Chain A
Amino acid sequence: MNVTQLSVFVENHPGHLQNVLKILGDASINIITLTIAETSDFGILRIICNKPEEAISVLKKEHVICSATDVLAIEIDDKPGELSRALTIFAQHGLNIEYMYAFTEKREGKAVMIFRFEDIEAAKSALNKQGYRIVSKIDIIGES
């Protein structure tokens, strides 16, 4: 099972990001981590939250353009060189990372990294062979 990321189109103007977050807040959706990729005119907001399907449906109702994306979440040791070690595996398998970001909270000395791949299954199998723990949906959702 993969982690579902919420991807949202947001214009790069004051108030637009706030509008999206307010819709999510009003619907009692809790954000676990987020990141924004921006251009001068617009950005793509990427969110990991507790109820992604519900988040998409409330956003669509408000005419916000969004989609669900499968991303890979893995635990790595919170030690120097560990992220580099994980990336070596991807490089060796010729897997290009489209984008990546991290969880804000640490879990028992582990950091959680989010990766977006063209071929998520290939990335998973490459990591599995190296003994990485892949975080599934249920693990992330602390509440409900």
Chain B
Amino acid sequence: MFNREFEAMPLAEMKKLQLERLKWSLNHAYKNNAYYARKFDASGFDPSSFKSLDDMKRVPFLTKQDMRDNYPFGLFAVPLKDVVRVHSSSGTTGNATVVGYTSKDIDVFAEVVARSLSSYGATSDDILQVAYGYGLFTGGLGLHYGGEKLGCLTVPISGGNTERQLMLIKDFGTSVLACTPSYALNIADYLEKKRPDYDIKKTSLRIGVLGAEPWTEAMRNEIETRLGIEAYDIYGLSEVIGPGVSAECSAKSGMHVFEDHFYVEIIDPDTGEVLPEGEKGEIVYTSLTKYACPVIRYRSRDITRLYHDSCSCGRTLVKMEKVTGRSDDMLIIRGVNIFPSQIESVLMEVEGTEPHYQIIVDRSGALDDVEVRVEVAEKIFSDELKVLESLRQKIVERFRNVLGISAKITLVEPMSIARSEGKAVRVVDKRKLK
């Protein structure tokens, strides 16, 4: 454990610490940022009246739209001269959002990433290859500073150039690789197609630090088997700090939230009401120690569940489940809640299917019609009709059994699903247009 004092803190003590820090953070935002001050005043919330964690429900939410409206520096709560770094979201779904860090904030960022790496079993003996993009995206620099904090030999290779990634893994003896789960699969594909002579299982590589996009247990199994590593989830969002908001541990069941820095709540996405521990809903974040860019009750849109268990790793921190979807792309199909990630999971399970898919929901009469278009990959293509037909049938059955919906599965040509800036458009809901 990188920081036992906080990671294994008794529950009651943690609550006390959180209350103290919340008081500071709410006051800090209120006093040093005009937007928060107006927001609090408008909703009738007075930070000096904040006495217990239960008072959180009176604090107004912060949304992605608030962050966009305050582009670029409107949510900073320190003078610009104290800000030493900015990161920014890609802005694929609207204006970019910008987050700032003081040097103290950077320390916290590095600390939570170091804790994450440590919880996967990495130590200062490890060589960490950071294959996340370095730049405005928090992944590259976030992992870099965390790796250095832990004392790893940190290799800032950034993303892409698979041949060079493989060369350094071998030549440097890289033992920990940080990248997106889809890039990890990409490396496995590359090895299979272009470098059958390269045996990745004979290298020192043993740990994958995978995050920045949702992934499933099926993907974990595939990555672990094909690369011969232990693959762990690292979760985060730039609005809150970046990767390291929560991380899996050796138990690989849920991610411990570093709740001495981030206060988490689960709310009903429709009503905004706080749900009891264990219930599934939208996770809401409040920073407890951030100076430059405090976030107060930030609605992440990520759907998950919070719970405490006596984790075998010894951490007492609350756990969050792997994020199963986002409240804004949750689909209600004939009354069943479906997330694109569940559909992805089913497609991954059906042997060999790479999840390039699109869900099209339409309504004919009173019923919702679901069509899932799946791009045919080379791996699953056959010259025999019966092979492709039975694959399609298998997917139809898994959808019925696992998700409880009957969907029409259409096999389509590669690249036929529209992609915006490289990301496939996963959901087309035609019901909204009617």
Contact = CB atoms under 8 A, between A and B. Distances in A.
A12 B9 CA distance: 62
Contacts of B191: none
Interface in A45-94: 46, 63-67, 69
11 contacts: A9-B413, A16-B413, A41-B411, A44-B384, A44-B385, A63-B414, A63-B415, A64-B414, A65-B376, A65-B413, A67-B378
Contact of A10 (B382, B385, B389, B413): B413
A127 B81 CA distance: 86
A106 to B, nearest CB: 26
A9 B384 contact: no
B416 interface: yes
Contact of B384 (A10, A41, A63, A98): A98
Given A42-B376, A63-B413, A65-B381, 15 more contacts: A5-B383, A7-B382, A9-B381, A9-B413, A11-B413, A16-B413, A44-B384, A44-B388, A63-B414, A64-B414, A65-B378, A65-B413, A65-B414, A99-B384, A116-B383
A116 B383 CA distance: 10
Interface of B: 376-378, 381-385, 388-389, 410-416
B411 A42 contact: yes
Interface of A: 5, 7, 9-11, 16, 37, 39, 41-42, 44, 46, 63-67, 69, 98-99, 116
A101 to B, nearest CB: 12
B383 A44 contact: yes
B384 to A, nearest CB: 6
In the A-B complex, the 5 residue pairs with the closest CB atoms = A7-B383, A69-B383, A37-B385, A63-B415, A65-B381
A6 to B, nearest CB: 9
A108 B389 CA distance: 39
A13 to B, nearest CB: 10
A11 B381 contact: no
Nearest to B377: A65
Contacts of A41: 410-412
Contacts of B411: 9, 41-42
Contacts of B389: 39
Contacts of B385: 37, 39, 44
Contacts of B410: 41
Contact of A11 (B378, B384, B412): B412
A11 B416 contact: yes
A42 B416 CA distance: 13
A7 B387 CA distance: 13
Contacts of A5: 383
A99 B387 CA distance: 13
Contacts of B377: 65
A65 B410 CA distance: 15
A44 B413 CA distance: 12
